[in-house]
């Protein structure tokens, strides 16, 4: 793997440009995903480390953080770490949550929330984060892939009702197909879609473009491979060497260049990786780079 040059480790997230979420909340397009902070069953992350990473993200100009009450390990919950690190939250910090999967104490996702359970899940996030209103709540459907062919109308209506009530500012969707996005959008405005997409998995390209055309933020998860697959390949290596950057930085820069509505949410529990990820905000790939990396 390529090492980053020193010039590519100290940058503000603001260098990534901004996106106006729901047309009104302006955030830098280089954000942060909180899923790694509580660690996993197989990975211990010290509390002090997790809290320091969350604080450092904000110090580095990150103003969009993606989290969920269902991000927890036997030792910690992502929402608690964010609250400890950042509450009272900076006025310009946007915290997005997701609801949908029901996880048991062993972390297994055993079911999806019904429409009748949406309120208690939103209230759980409100309570854990210590806020009166959530900036963005996405209905997450299924597991990691987009689940087509299933109506999400009843669940999205339940979420939209909480927006009417003032508990939620903007609505989003995760792991959805174009048809499900259209179904939800007919019920209430959708401000964001969070699906799996990255330089090494570009299957959702049409939905990325659709979101850009409709002014909907697209927040790709696993932009860095999720830690499951190596972020490797000749194209990535070539472009990384060209910029004196790492493959991870190029993967983030590729997403930012791929669509103006991409808001990146790379996940890390490492301060060194966080610094590198934020520094990718200032990498601007050119047409030649994009041609090498885009399928």
Ligand X SMILES: NC(=O)c1ccc[n+]([C@@H]2O[C@H](COP(=O)([O-])OP(=O)(O)OC[C@H]3O[C@@H](n4cnc5c(N)ncnc54)[C@H](OP(=O)(O)O)[C@@H]3O)[C@@H](O)[C@H]2O)c1
Which residues form the catalytic set?
Answer: 71
Contact (CB, 8 A) for 2 and 240 = yes
Does residue 223 touch ligand X according to CB under 6 A? yes
Among 277, 278, 281, 283, binds ligand X (CB under 6 A): 277
Rounded to whole angstroms, how far apart are CA atoms 57 and 45? 16
Q: Is the Cβ of residue 27 or residue 223 nearer to ligand X in the bound state? A: 223
Give the shortest CB-96-to-ligand X separation in angstroms. Answer: 8
Rounded to a whole number, what is the distance in angstroms from the first to the last CA of the chain?
A: 22
Q: Is the Cβ of residue 17 or residue 227 nearer to ligand X in the bound state? A: 227
Q: x/- site string to ligand X, residues 4 to 33, per CB under 6 A?
A: -----------------------------x
Does residue 276 touch ligand X according to CB under 6 A? yes
Contact (CB, 8 A) for 96 and 64 = yes
Does residue 39 touch ligand X according to CB under 6 A? no
Rounded to whole angstroms, how far apart are CA atoms 33 and 219? 10
Does residue 265 touch ligand X according to CB under 6 A? yes
Give the shortest CB-45-to-ligand X separation in angstroms. Answer: 8
DSSP labels, 141-182: -SSSS---S---HHHHHHHHHHHHTTSEEEEEEES--HHHHH
Residue owning tokens 């197989």: 42
Q: C-alpha dihedral over 211, 213, 217, 218, to 10 degrees?
A: 40
Contact (CB, 8 A) for 174 and 139 = yes
Does residue 144 touch ligand X according to CB under 6 A? yes
Among 14, 50, 267, 281, binds ligand X (CB under 6 A): 267
Among 22, 31, 38, 266, binds ligand X (CB under 6 A): 266
Cα 6 to chain centroid, rounded: 26
Residue owning tokens 């529990």: 269
Q: x/- site string to ligand X, residues 99 to 138, per CB under 6 A?
A: ----------------------------------------
Among 76, 191, 192, 224, binds ligand X (CB under 6 A): 224
Rounded to whole angstroms, how far apart are CA atoms 163 and 153? 15
Helices (H) and strands (E) in the chain, counts: 10, 11
Give the shortest CB-54-to-ligand X separation in angstroms. Answer: 12
Rounded to whole angstroms, how far apart are CA atoms 99 and 145? 16
**Span of 23-31, 180-188, 222-230, 285-293 interacting with ligand X by CB under 6 A:** 222-230
Largest CA distance in the chain: 53
Does residue 73 touch ligand X according to CB under 6 A? no
> Scanning residues 192 to 221, which ones bind ligand X (CB under 6 A)?
194, 221
Among 36, 94, 128, 259, binds ligand X (CB under 6 A): 36
Q: Is the Cβ of residue 151 or residue 270 nearer to ligand X in the bound state? A: 270
What are the E-state strand segments in 48-162?
Answer: 64-66, 94-99, 101-103, 109-112, 134-140
Report the interface residues with ligand X, using CB under 6 A: 33-36, 66, 140, 144, 174-175, 194, 221-227, 248, 265-270, 273, 276-277
């Amino acid at each position: 793997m390529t090492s980053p040059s020193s010039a590519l480790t100290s940058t503000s997230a603001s260098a990534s440009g901004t996106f106006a979420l729901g047309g009104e909340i302006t955030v830098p397009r280089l954000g942060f995903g909180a899923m790694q902070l509580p660690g996993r069953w197989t990975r211990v992350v010290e509390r002090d480390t997790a809290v320091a990473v969350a604080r450092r993200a904000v110090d580095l100009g990150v103003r969009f953080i993606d989290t969920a009450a269902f991000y927890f390990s036997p030792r910690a919950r992502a929402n608690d770490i964010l609250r400890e690190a950042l509450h009272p939250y900076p006025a310009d910090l946007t915290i997005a949550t997701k609801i949908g999967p029901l996880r048991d104490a062993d972390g297994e996702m055993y079911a999806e929330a019904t429409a009748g359970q949406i309120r208690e899940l939103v209230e759980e996030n409100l309570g854990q984060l210590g806020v009166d209103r959530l900036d963005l709540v996405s209905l997450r459907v299924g597991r990691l892939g987009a689940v087509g062919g299933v109506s999400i109308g009843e669940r999205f209506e339940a979420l939209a009702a909480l927006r009417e009530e003032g508990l939620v500012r903007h609505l989003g969707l995760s792991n959805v197909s174009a048809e499900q996005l259209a179904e939800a959008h007919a019920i209430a405005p959708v401000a964001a879609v969070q699906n799996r997409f990255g330089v090494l998995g570009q299957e959702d390209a049409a939905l990325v473009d659709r979101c850009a055309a409709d002014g909907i933020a697209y927040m790709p998860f696993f932009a860095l491979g999720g830690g499951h697959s190596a972020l490797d390949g000749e194209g990535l290596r070539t472009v990384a060497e060209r910029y004196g950057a790492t493959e991870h930085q190029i993967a983030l820069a590729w997403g930012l260049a791929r669509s103006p509505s991409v808001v990146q949410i790379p996940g890390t529990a490492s301060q060194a990786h966080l610094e590198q990820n934020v520094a990718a905000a200032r990498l601007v790939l050119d047409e030649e780079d994009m041609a090498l990396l885009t399928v």
